[in-house]
Structures are given as C-alpha cells and as structure tokens.
Amino acid sequence: MMARAGTRKDAHEPGLKPRLGVSTCLLGENVRYDGTEKSDPLLLKAFGDDVEWAPICPEVECGMTVPRDPMHLADDPDSPRLVTTATGEDQTGRMQTWIRSRLDELAGCNLWGFVLKSRSPSCGTGAVPVLDATGEQAGEAAGLFAAAVAKRFPLLPVADERSLRDDSMWDNFIERLFCLKRYRDSMRPKGSRDSLVAFHAAHELQLMAHDQDVLSKMEELVARSKKLPLDELSARYGELLTTTMEFVATPARNADVLLHALGLLERYMNPGERQDALEAIEEHRGGRASLIVPTKLLGRHIRKYHVEHLATQSCFAAHPLELKLRSHV
C-alpha cells in the first residue's frame, strides 16, 4: 500500500501541486474487500502528474483484512451503522474510532480536497444504499468516512470518481479546489477583515457566475464586516463561499459574466477586437468553445490596455495549473 499522508507544513505555499486525499483503491492498490483493484484510469489520466495524492483506505487502515467480508450501511439513513453483510457484525465503533484519529492527522496535511470511491459504505459521498433489517433499502446516505470529512473540513471540496466523469462537474471541482484554497490562504496564518474584503473583491466576477442569490448574501456580509467578530465573519463567509461554489456555473452564466467584463473593457478596444471577443463569448454560450477561449482573449486585452480593476479578477488571473486542469474537459 502507498504511504499515508504526513504533515506538510509548507503545502499552502503558492506554486505547489494540489494535494488531494484519495481512496486508495482508485489508485490501483488491491485493498478492496475481495482483494481486487479498482483503479480509475480516466481519473488518473485527467490529473496526471499535476496533483499529489494522499491515499486513504478506511477499512484497511482501521485494521480490517484483505480480503474481508463485504459490508453495508444499515438501519437509520440519518445515522447509519456499518455492518458486515453476511453476519450483521457491527463495525461502526471500530470505524468511528479510527476516523477520529485519522481526521486529526489529516488536519495537519494541508489537503486541498478529496476524491473518494463512489457508493462505498465508508467513502461514498452520497447515494450509498442503507438497508433495513429485512435487507430492503431504507434510504441513502454518505459513507461514514465521507460524512465525517464533510463535517470536519467544510471548506474542502469533496467529489467521487463517478461525478468527475461529467465535464461540468470536473470543471466545477477544479474551480472549487483553487478558489477555496485561495480563501483559506488569504485567512492564514492571521487573516483580517481587509484580507477577506480583498478576496471578495478579487473574486466578484467568478462568484457572479455561480449563484446570484448567495452572492448577494456574501455582499451584505462583507458590507457589514466591521460589525462582526472576525471569527464569526470568516466562518459565515466561508460557508457562503462553499455554498455558492457548489452551484455549477453554466455556459450561459459564464457568458453573461464575460459580457459584463466586456462592457467594462470595450471602451479601450477597437471595433474588430470587440467583435472577436463577442463572438468568442457567444461560441462558449452555445457550447462550441471552452470557457478558456473567451477568458484568455479578454485577458490579453485587459493586459494590453492595463485595465487594473479587471486584471485583478480571479477569472482573468487564474493560476496556470488551474487553467491546465480545467482545460482537460
């Protein structure tokens, strides 16, 4: 098995690869209950060498063998138990004890997010069947480890390998990784109201493409930031940021935001440049061009004409690695 994630105190520094917690089986290790491997070649190819993996296998790490009896979630979908399918032996306490210890370790690893195994009773991010005493499905839930991760690390994006096969979900996950990482970095080691306000100002256009209602709440919060204790302000803003970034930005919304930016930029441009930009934006709206095409085009004009209030916007100043990973779609 691959080595467990250790503490990386420097992992938040700019320029380093994203460090992602990952279900070990997705990397091809033979840790599944039946001793087989369940690697995801498409996932590994899409990320390539651009991320650093921190492998995690809840079952093996809490002391279960390979192979082992298959398990499932049982009883109450709101508080499921982990039991062996053949004997009904309750493994919940054993797993929860390991989870508490492991999450404490992961808290020091400066992870950017997690990619977990879908439908696993430990790692499934949702839609894991929960069976009643008769073996009938009583509902669905997240796996025990995945649920604990979401509760302990609310600012870390979590996805499963199946969802990332969808182009829009892949793009959204990569965007969330970098955006939420920038927010965490802006608030450490000792964040301030000014750093939070500066982060929001730099991400205004990017957030606009996700959800206008949540963005309005964020703007209201920022407007009265001086009236709130910093800890409360940061927590509430982080919650709203996570919520709005979970809404997938559609091509239509992206195009509207780019048109807004073009409206601020066009007085500097000649008619030919404006027409080229407009066509590129509408190509994206119609699904005939990726978002990077009009974004890069506008970015070139922003730099050419030194439009500083747009140059500082995150959508035009994205990290090259973010653009590279997003362009995989």
Where do the domains of the chain lie?
19-165, 168-246, 251-326
What lies within 8 Å, CB to CB, of 306 at 6+ separation is none
pLDDT score of 64 more than 90 = yes
pLDDT score of 13 more than 90 = no
pLDDT (average), residues 264-269: 96
Look up the pTM and report it: 0.92
Buried b (16+ CB within 10 A) or exposed e, 229-263: eeeebbeebbbbbbbbbebbbebebbbebbbebbe
Strand partners, 131: 74, 137
**Could you tell me the two tokens for 143?**
């796996």
Average pLDDT, the chain: 93
- Per-residue pLDDT tens over the stretch 69-95: 999 999 999 999 999 999 999 999 999
What is the DSSP secondary structure assignment for residue 34, as one 8-state letter?
Answer: T
pLDDT (average), residues 37-47: 93
DSSP 39-99: --HHHHHHHTTSSEEEEE-HHHHTT--SS---EEEES-TTS-EEEETTT--B-HHHHHHHH
Confidence tier at 329 by pLDDT (50, 70, 90): low
pLDDT for 139 equals: 98
Confidence tier at 6 by pLDDT (50, 70, 90): very low
Q: Which strands form 52-56's sheet, in the order they lie side by side? A: 52-56, 19-23, 113-116, 158-160
What lies within 8 Å, CB to CB, of 272 at 6+ separation is none
pLDDT score of 303 more than 90 = yes
Range with the largest mean pLDDT of 7-16, 36-45, 51-60: 51-60
**Could you tell me the two tokens for 254?**
């992206």
